[in-house]
Amino acid sequence: MAGCLLVVPQTPASPTTTETPASYTTPTPIDPAWSPPPVESSAPTLPSIADVVEEVYPSVVTISTEVVTLDFFLRPQTQTGAGSGWIIDGNGIIATNNHVVEGAKKVTVKLADGRTFQAGPDNVYRDPWTDLAVIEIDATDLPAASLGDSTQLRVGDWVVAIGNPLGHGLRAKEGTISGLKVSIPVGQGQTLDDLIEVSAAINPGNSGGPLANMRGQVVGITSAKIAAVGVEGMGYAISTKIAKPIIEQLITRGYVVRPYLGIQLYTVDEYVAAVNHLPVDKGAVITYMTPGSPADKAGLKELDIIVRFQDEEITTAEELIQAIHSSQVGEEVKITFVRGEETKTTHARLIQSPPPGK
């Protein structure tokens, strides 16, 4: 019968013996007194996600925006967008992402209790470099969220992302932390650093919403998701360690102060060098320079390629921007650049970055 063990009769063997063959050696036991560990009859239970949502939910807001763009025939048209935010101060201050409100002519904030407030461009304060922004609305006695210490997070910790996915209203989604101190590029010369990678589902509209720990404290601001075929569960949040000082400056100054050289940059690689007939294939090329800026006063020109900053090699625009931001206002810096076939050196004194729009 198929699938059965077939026993084949064999020629009777010689009588068995109880004697141990000469070649056999009795193994030495590892630990004769060893016994297996006891089986645990119970496991710790997870804290209730519902308790976290109940704590944070009243502080979360949905954000709707209107942006005026030009259509194919250069006619103005209004596009709408959706995002999330959370109340960081009860006197009407909302934290969110820059990309949620960037370019918006009208911002509508809807609270969890159903009330709505309007905010114009003058009530929106942004920092594109860190993708953070705050919105001021005319309201008081709002339920502000509690801040948590993102430096205490561990891979594997449970977190909850609350936001406005796909513009469908406030939703909560749980997940775990899968990575810490993550950096991802989000644009030419721009990288978001110290991100929290989470497995919670992140969708368009979640941006700007809070990422909460199991104590109901905000430990991150949902910011980005890697969208690619075969990629699942890789969402990112800006840690409160990075966000807190930026938000503080946006509230107290209206913008973030950084060292300023006064140039716009593009990364030079082999392709860019070949297409533009550049003399080097790595560095940061100046695409625009503000008149009267430290770069202008130092004799730099557009299309100069900066290859060293303070004697440190520069291979990308991002590296140069990071190096500038790591310097001090008032510091004199050494810049090595390539112009044509010549390599030159100059010095510039960094100043305080001007307010946006100036």
pLDDT digits (tens, 9 = 90+) for 275-293: 988 999 999 999 999 999 9
Q: How confident is the model at residue 40 (pLDDT cuts 50, 70, 90)?
A: confident
Q: Which residue in 195, 79, 66 sits closest to 124, CA to CA?
A: 66
Contact 109, 119 (CB under 8 A): yes
99 included as an active-site residue: yes
Report the distance separating Cα 124 and Cα 106, nearest Å: 10
pLDDT of 81 > 60? The answer is: yes
User: 79 or 94: which carries more pLDDT confidence?
Assistant: 94
List 99, 239, 327, 353, catalytic entry = 99
Residue 42, pLDDT score? 72
**Residues counted in the chain:** 358
pLDDT of 65 > 90? The answer is: yes
Each residue's pLDDT tens digit, 347-356: 999 999 988 7
pLDDT of 329 > 80? The answer is: yes
List 64, 84, 150, 207, catalytic entry = 207
Q: What is the number of other CB atoms lying within 10 angstroms of the CB of residue 161?
A: 26
pLDDT of 247 > 90? The answer is: yes
Instruction: Determine which of 69-78, 198-207, 234-243, 244-253 has the lowest per-residue pLDDT on average.
Output: 69-78
Give the sign of the dihedral formed by CA 326, CA 331, CA 336, CA 340: positive
Q: How confident is the model at residue 357 (pLDDT cuts 50, 70, 90)?
A: low
Q: How far is C-alpha 284 from the geometric centre of its chain's CA atoms?
A: 24
Q: How confident is the model at residue 225 (pLDDT cuts 50, 70, 90)?
A: low
Q: Which residue in 232, 170, 229, 230 sits closest to 199, CA to CA?
A: 232
Q: Which residue in 65, 195, 80 sits closest to 131, CA to CA?
A: 195
Mean pLDDT of the region 3-24: 51
Report the distance separating Cα 303 and Cα 190, nearest Å: 20
The mean pLDDT of the chain is 87
Q: Which amino acid is at 49?
A: I
Contact 205, 235 (CB under 8 A): no
325 included as an active-site residue: no
Report all structural domains of the chain as residue ranges with CATH numbers, in order of start: 51-136 (2.40.10.10), 146-252 (2.40.10.10), 259-352 (2.30.42.10)
CA angle, residues 200, 204, 208, in degrees to nearest 5: 75
Distances (CA, A) of 2 to 6, 10, 174, 235: 9, 21, 51, 53
pLDDT of 149 > 90? The answer is: yes
207 included as an active-site residue: yes
List 127, 131, 304, 327, catalytic entry = 131
Mean pLDDT of the region 159-168: 88
Contact 261, 300 (CB under 8 A): no
Report the distance separating Cα 84 and Cα 102, nearest Å: 13
Report the distance separating Cα 197 and Cα 183, nearest Å: 10
Q: How confident is the model at residue 143 (pLDDT cuts 50, 70, 90)?
A: very high
